């Protein structure tokens, strides 16, 4: 339940935004810097009444700030998590309430506009940059403001104040969200350069995937001494490869500053100091893969929960406090792929990490915890339908008398939540395995078998599989483009312009076909401009209720880190 104070601030903020909407759009063009400042300013940030109230309340000094980002986690995705926790017959969520929902009940709840400078829809790089710096940014920039200037991040500001800093993600360390907190590059694709920036920023705890941007190109020659030395250093954790375009070995450069680890056992042994953990060449396991790995004695990867626990253990040793960002990054990937089953598992995994942080923070009075998203992905939602209409039911109440209860539509039974959670492989894994088959086996019949084994009790038909494998002309073809560079693409029946990731359109088509059985609808394979939630717990929470922009979040977070 949202507090009366939060509702009041929300109403005031909405009125304020409505007033801003009457200003001519030419204002931004005439004076970009002043208008950016005007747009991000809000009553909660500037009102002397708020400051006076905080002074009188004797607010606790904030020592630690923990920001948790569910990448792609819009209100719809949060609704999926809350519904599963409360209503899935097989829900294993403690007390049947998500940690995120309990945090919203106990703390403060706000809404965040996500748009970047000059556009309506944000990508993860600009989104994370706006959160990390409090400055307006533009598409695909990393740690750079909309005018192209390097912008100081909350990690850098905390470091310069003597605080410890940490970044944790289940994607790659050099991926857009963690990168924006500790790098400054013109484009998110510059991951080789981002890796250098992150080490030069001296972040104390770095835990994620992404080894391939830290090791020399020579590693790709398995007969080389460089390869042998790296394999020995890694202790056989996994098979390494490189995507660097040079023979710079960032691990050798980092070893004087960091303990470098590659598996969960080595991470568990780190008890103090700086640590660089790289647990995969690229991204780490998705949540379905992680759940399977936990049952295996020979697993190597730590979980998001284990990385978060270790970050708290190490960073909390700094007497000046710390800033920590934890990303549940593959919620976004489930949204991009229109894969509801894997998206649910990713949300549950992220919520487990939130529970760890909240349990730790509740023992203290000096820690602010923020949970938010950078944007929403997929335009996801449950919907009622005209398929499989419910049977009439006789109710015990007096209003209906002898008349049965007969809804006009199928409003989606709770059981479907368990069915989603039962998915055995992500769409990405399914098609990776399909693409690795000999050509003669890459048939619609094979695809039917593979899909149905993974998504039961849902299923596809031979006709469905044929549709998924059907190709069409790429009307957005652009030679040399990373995603639009093929002349044909898997066929989407409509809105092709919003499904842009090449062969991954097969995932989207499969998600749409299964959606009729799952009561799931998808609007896009990219991002939307849906405002996202922000939940805050601990001292300073009142600054994050109401309606704000992502740059407001960044500015207020930086102010609290500075002790202002």
Q: How buried is residue 131: exposed, middle or buried, by Cβ count under 10 Å (0-12/13-18/19+)?
A: buried
d(CA 120, CA 112): 14
Burial 379-392 (b: 16+ CB within 10 A, else e): bbbbeebeeeeeee
Distance of CA 165 to the CA centre of its chain: 20
> Do strands 367-372 and 532-537 pair parallel, antiparallel, or not at all (unpaired)?
antiparallel
Sign of CA dihedral 551, 320, 184, 178: negative
Q: Phi and psi at residue 489, in whole multiples of 5°?
A: -140, 160
Burial 226-252 (b: 16+ CB within 10 A, else e): bbeebbeebeebbebbbbbeeeebbbe
CA angle 367, 369, 374 (to 5 degrees): 150
d(CA 360, CA 264): 21
d(CA 210, CA 243): 10
- Give the Cβ contact number of residue 44 at 10 Å: 22
> Do 65 and 318 form a contact (C-beta atoms < 8 A)?
no
Show contacts of 250-256: CB within 8 Å, 24+ apart: 250/195, 250/196, 250/199, 250/213, 250/214, 250/215, 251/214, 251/215, 251/276, 253/199, 254/199, 254/214
> Do 541 and 4 form a contact (C-beta atoms < 8 A)?
no
* Active-site position among 13, 35, 124, 454: 124
Contacts for 25 with CB less than 8 Å, ≥ 6 apart: none
The DSSP result for 489-550, as a single string, is: EE--SS-GGG--SGGGHHHHHHHHHHHHHHTEE---SSEE---EEEEEESTTGGGG-EEEEH
The DSSP bridge partners found for residue 109 are 535
> Do 528 and 380 form a contact (C-beta atoms < 8 A)?
no
Peptide bond into 457 cis (omega under 30): yes
Q: Is 124 a catalytic residue?
A: yes
d(CA 63, CA 53): 21
Show contacts of 267-274: CB within 8 Å, 24+ apart: 267/207, 267/302, 267/306, 267/307, 267/310, 268/302, 268/306, 268/310, 270/310, 270/314, 271/313, 272/314, 272/317, 273/314, 274/202, 274/204, 274/205
The residues carrying an active-site annotation are 124
């Amino acid at each position: 339940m949202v507090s009366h104070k939060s509702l009041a601030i929300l109403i005031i903020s909405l009125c304020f935004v409505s007033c801003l909407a009457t200003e001519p759009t030419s204002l931004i063009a005439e004076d970009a810097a002043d208008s950016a400042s005007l747009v991000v300013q809000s009553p909660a940030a500037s009102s002397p009444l708020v400051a006076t109230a905080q002074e009188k309340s004797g607010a606790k000094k904030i020592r630690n700030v923990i920001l948790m980002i569910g990448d792609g986690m819009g209100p719809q995705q949060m609704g999926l998590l809350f519904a599963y926790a409360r209503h899935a017959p097989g829900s294993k969520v403690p007390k049947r309430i998500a940690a995120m929902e309990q945090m919203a009940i106990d703390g403060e709840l706000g809404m965040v506009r996500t748009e970047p400078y000059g556009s309506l829809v944000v990508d993860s790089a600009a989104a994370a940059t706006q959160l990390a710096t409090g400055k307006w940014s533009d598409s695909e920039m990393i740690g750079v403001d909309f005018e192209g200037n390097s912008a100081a991040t909350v990690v850098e500001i905390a470091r310069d104040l003597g605080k410890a800093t940490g970044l944790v993600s289940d994607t790659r360390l050099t991926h857009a969200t963690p990168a924006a907190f500790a790098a400054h590059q013109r484009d998110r694709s510059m991951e080789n350069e981002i890796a250098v920036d992150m080490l030069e920023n001296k972040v104390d705890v770095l835990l994620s995937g992404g080894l391939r941007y830290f090791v020399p190109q020579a590693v790709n020659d398995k007969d080389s001494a460089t390869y042998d030395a790296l394999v020995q250093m890694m202790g056989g954790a996994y098979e390494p490869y490189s995507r660097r375009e040079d023979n710079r070995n960032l691990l050798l450069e980092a070893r004087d500053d960091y303990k470098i680890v590659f598996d969960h056992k080595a991470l568990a042994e780190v008890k103090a100091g700086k640590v660089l953990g790289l647990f995969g060449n690229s991204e780490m396991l998705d949540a379905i893969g992680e759940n399977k790995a936990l049952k295996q004695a020979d697993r190597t990867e730590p979980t998001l929960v284990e990385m978060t626990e270790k970050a708290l253990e190490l960073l909390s040793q700094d007497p000046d406090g710390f800033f920590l960002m934890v990303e549940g990054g593959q919620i976004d990937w489930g949204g991009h792929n229109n894969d509801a089953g894997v998206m649910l598992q990713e949300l549950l995994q992220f919520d487990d990490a939130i529970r760890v942080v909240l349990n730790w923070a509740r023992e203290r009075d000096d820690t602010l915890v923020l949970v938010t998203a950078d944007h929403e992905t997929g335009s996801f939602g449950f919907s009622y339908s005209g398929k499989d209409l419910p049977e009439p039911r006789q109710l015990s109440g007096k209003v209906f008398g002898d008349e049965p209860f007969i809804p006009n539509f199928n409003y989606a039974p709770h059981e479907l939540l368990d069915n989603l959670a039962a998915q055995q492989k992500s769409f990405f894994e399914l098609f990776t395995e399909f693409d690795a088959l000999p050509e003669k086996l890459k048939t619609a019949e094979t695809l039917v078998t593979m899909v149905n084994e993974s998504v039961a009790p849902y299923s596809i038909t031979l006709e469905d599989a044929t549709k998924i494998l059907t190709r069409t002309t790429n009307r957005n073809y652009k030679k040399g483009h990373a995603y639009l560079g093929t002349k044909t693409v898997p066929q989407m029946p409509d809105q092709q312009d919003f499904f842009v990731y090449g062969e991954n359109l097969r995932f989207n088509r499969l998600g749409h076909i299964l959606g009729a059985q799952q009561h799931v609808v998808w609007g896009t394979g990219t991002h939307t401009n849906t405002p996202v939630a922000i939940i805050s717990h601990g001292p300073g929470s009142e600054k994050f209720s109401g309606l704000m922009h992502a740059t407001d979040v960044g500015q207020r977070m930086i102010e609290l880190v500075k002790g202002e």
